[in-house]
């Protein structure tokens, strides 16, 4: 279970931020979560753990953790990324206190979404958003497709993508076992570039 009211995140967003995976959700039921961003596979059932939570605002996005067309998988598209970025307006308008962002493992889609939320109103501070994610969730490999789309939508001229590459290098160097695991799949080219 990983949680942080981390100072790095607090410098970028006005709410407490938690990133987790499905297996950790129940552990955050009593932590005052006010808003939840759920990212689930298209056919995955709604997590039962949310029945344990007091009333909160929750938004659900359904797409697969892939970087492109892979079989019948549904990759993240512009509409998904734009909706996540616009959700930042809701968080501001509702003065969110504790935001939980989750996907299946708390490694890729949720960490990409967290970076997007932290960086959306902070041009020039993309690296700080990745620093915050690294402290909150050291074993993270944010979905590069989501961040490339966000980079375009936010008009960051490659700053998010460059900061992601730096993050991947740090994670690969600090956790070679995790990097080796990732190298066996669709992200092999990213791991190779990070080595």
- Tell me the domains of the chain and their CATH numbers: 7-194 (3.90.190.10)
Query: What global pTM score does this model have?
Result: 0.94
**Helical H runs in 37-158?**
78-93, 109-119, 126-136, 144-153
CB 47 within 8 A of CB 22: yes
Looking at residue 6, its pLDDT comes to: 61
- Give per-residue pLDDT as tens, 47-97: 999 999 999 999 999 999 999 888 899 999 999 999 999 999 999 999 999
Q: What do you get for the CA distance between the two ends of the chain, in Å?
A: 28
Please report, rounded to a whole number, the percentage of residues in the chain having pLDDT higher than 70. 96
Tens digits of per-residue pLDDT, 163-192?
999 999 999 999 999 998 888 888 888 888
pLDDT at 186: 85
Distance of alpha carbon 58 from alpha carbon 105, whole angstroms = 18
| Alpha carbon distance 101, 46 (integer Å) | 15
CB atoms within 10 A of CB 95: 9
Q: Name residue 17's beta-bridge partners.
A: 4, 99
């Amino acid at each position: 279970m990983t949680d942080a009211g981390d100072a790095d995140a607090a410098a970028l967003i006005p709410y407490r931020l938690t990133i987790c995976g499905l297996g950790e959700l129940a552990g955050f039921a009593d932590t005052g979560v006010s808003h939840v961003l759920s990212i689930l596979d298209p056919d995955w059932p709604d997590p039962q753990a949310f029945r344990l939570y007091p009333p909160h605002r929750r938004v659900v996005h359904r797409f697969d953790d892939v970087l492109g067309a892979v079989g019948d998988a549904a990759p993240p598209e512009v509409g998904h990324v734009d909706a996540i970025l616009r959700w930042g307006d809701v968080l501001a308008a509702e003065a969110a206190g504790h935001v939980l962002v989750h996907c299946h493992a708390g490694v890729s889609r949720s960490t990409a979404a967290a970076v997007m939320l932290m960086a959306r109103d902070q041009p020039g501070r993309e690296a700080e958003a990745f620093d915050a994610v690294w402290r909150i969730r050291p074993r993270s490999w944010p979905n590069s497709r989501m961040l490339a789309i966000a980079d375009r939508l936010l008009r960051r001229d490659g700053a998010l993508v460059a900061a992601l590459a730096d993050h991947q290098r740090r994670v690969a160097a600090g956790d070679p076992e995790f990097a080796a695991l990732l190298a066996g799949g669709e992200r092999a080219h990213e791991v190779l570039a990070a080595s």
